[in-house]
Amino acid sequence: MSLENAPENTDERSAFYDRIADDNFTPLWQVLSNIITAEPQSGCRAHLWPYSKAREYLLESGQLITAKEAERRVLILENPGMRGLSCITTSLYAGLQLVLPDEVAPAHRHSQSALRFVIEGSGGHTTVNGEKTTMEVGDFVITPPWAWHDHGNKSDEPMIWLDGLDIPIVSLFDTSFADRYQEETQPLTKPDGDSLARYGTNMLPVDYHSKSIVSPIFSYPFERTREALEKLKQKDEWDACHGIKLRYINPNDGGYAMPTIAPFMQLLPSGFSTRRYRSTDATVFSVVEGSGVSIINGESFSWSPRDTFVVPSHQWVTHETSEDAVLFSFSDRVAQEKLGLWREQRGR
C-alpha cells in the first residue's frame, strides 16, 4: 500500500514518471509514505552542549570580534543532525550570546520572536521598545516580533545568555524582515520596571484593553519564579513526568507568553526519577540549578548548571536528579497546540 511503501514500479510507469517530470509533476503515490509518515520523522538529534566548553569558545570569540561589528556575538547551538541549518530543532533556533563590559549590541528589530535566558553575569541590560531591564541569572526576557531592542553591559563581568528564536518557523512562511535603528541605542521612554508593575502583579490598569499575542511583560525575574517553585515544593505534589513545571503566561489571556515559543520552568527534587514521557514538541533545556541525568531514547546525558541540551520530538525521556534541580526550557508547543498538532504520551 502507498501509505507504507510506494507501489511497484513498471517500465510503463517509469516512462510516464519521466515524461511528466519535465513539466514539474510528481505522482503522489510514489512519495506518499515519505511525506505523510506514521510517526514523526526528524533529523533532530538529542545532544548536550557543556557550558564549560561553550564559555571557553565564547570568550575566545570576544577577542576576535566586537559585539558592534558582529551585530550579535552569538555561537549558534547547531543540532548535530541538522548541521548547516542554524537550528537546534526543526522549528527553533538557539544560541549563546556574549556581551563584554562596556559593550553595546546595537539596536535593531526583526519579524522573529526572541527570548533571552540569562546564564551568567549581573547588571547587564536589554532595552525593548523604550524600556530597559537589568538582567540577572535566571531571568527570562522577551523580545516581541518587530520590537526595537538593544543590549548593553555596564558591569565588570561578561554577560552570557541563551537566545531562543523562531527563525525556522518564520523562514518556512517566507516572512523574515529586519531593520537597523538609526542610532546604536534607542531612547528610553519608560522607567525601569514599568511593564512588570503594570501587568505583572495580577492587576491591570483599569482601562487597559489588549488582545496582543505577546505578553506585555517582557522581563520575568528569576527571583519571583524561584520563590513560586519553592512554595509549591512545600505541598509535596509532584507530577510523575515533570516534577513541578510552570509555564510563563501572557496576562492578557492566560495563554503562553509568546505566540510561537512556549517557555517553562520546572523543579525536580533530589533523588527524583521521572516517569517516561514523550511529546511532539522538541524541547530545549537550560540547567539553572542542580545536576542529574536525562535518558533520551536510551542515550544518557549528564548535566550540571548552565549546560544546554535538547530532546527531539516524540522521543522518550526520563530525568534523574542527584540534588534539587531547576530547569528552564522552551519549545514550539504553543504553535502546535494552536494548529491542533500537539501530542504527548506518558509511560508507565
Residue 51 phi/psi, 5-degree rounding, is -70, -35
Residue 114's CB is within 10 A of a number of other CB atoms, namely 21
**Grid coordinates belonging to 214:** 505577546
**pLDDT exceeds 70 at position 102:** yes
Query: What confidence category does residue 348 fall into, taking pLDDT thresholds of 50, 70 and 90?
Result: confident
Closest CA to 105 of 126, 128, 135, 86: 126
244 & 335 share domain: yes
Stretch 192-221: mean pLDDT: 94
Query: What confidence category does residue 211 fall into, taking pLDDT thresholds of 50, 70 and 90?
Result: confident
91 & 240 share domain: yes
Does residue 88 come out as left (phi exceeding 0), alpha (psi in the -120 to 50 range) or beta? alpha
User: The CATH number of the domain where 322 resides is what?
Assistant: 2.60.120.10
Does residue 230 come out as left (phi exceeding 0), alpha (psi in the -120 to 50 range) or beta? alpha
**pLDDT exceeds 70 at position 2:** no
Query: What confidence category does residue 16 fall into, taking pLDDT thresholds of 50, 70 and 90?
Result: very high
Assign 34 to helix, strand or coil: helix
What pLDDT shows up at residue 291?
98
Assign 277 to helix, strand or coil: strand
163 & 284 share domain: yes
Lowest model confidence (mean pLDDT) among 102-106, 153-157, 233-237, 321-325: 233-237
78 & 23 share domain: no
Assign 263 to helix, strand or coil: strand
Stretch 240-265: mean pLDDT: 97
34 & 157 share domain: no
Does residue 332 come out as left (phi exceeding 0), alpha (psi in the -120 to 50 range) or beta? alpha
What range does the domain containing 14 cover?
1-38
CA distances to 7, 15, 18, 30, 318 from 12, rounded to whole Å, are: 13, 5, 10, 14, 52
215 & 276 share domain: yes
Strand intervals (E) in 55-172: 74-76, 93-99, 104-110, 114-120, 122-128, 131-136, 140-143, 149-153, 159-165
Alpha-carbon distance of 100 to 146, in angstroms, equals: 25
Assign 58 to helix, strand or coil: helix
**pLDDT exceeds 60 at position 1:** no
What pLDDT shows up at residue 138?
98
Specify the number of domains making up the chain: 2
Query: What confidence category does residue 17 fall into, taking pLDDT thresholds of 50, 70 and 90?
Result: very high
**pLDDT exceeds 60 at position 325:** yes
6 & 60 share domain: no
Residue 294 phi/psi, 5-degree rounding, is -115, 130
Alpha-carbon distance of 155 to 103, in angstroms, equals: 10
30 & 53 share domain: no
3 & 83 share domain: no
Closest CA to 278 of 314, 311, 228: 314
Percent of the chain with pLDDT over 90: 95
Exposed / middle / buried, residue 298 (Cβ in 10 Å: 0-12, 13-18, 19+): exposed
Prediction pTM value: 0.96
Closest CA to 97 of 286, 303, 235: 286
30 & 151 share domain: no
- Name the residue with cell 561589528: 69
The pLDDT mean for the chain works out to 96
30 & 129 share domain: no
Alpha-carbon distance of 79 to 46, in angstroms, equals: 8
* Residues paired with 275 in a beta bridge: none
Compute CA 253 distance to the chain's CA centroid, rounded to the nearest angstrom: 21
In contact, 309 and 337? CB cutoff 8 Å: no
Percent of the chain with pLDDT over 70: 99
4 & 146 share domain: no
Alpha-carbon distance of 53 to 43, in angstroms, equals: 24
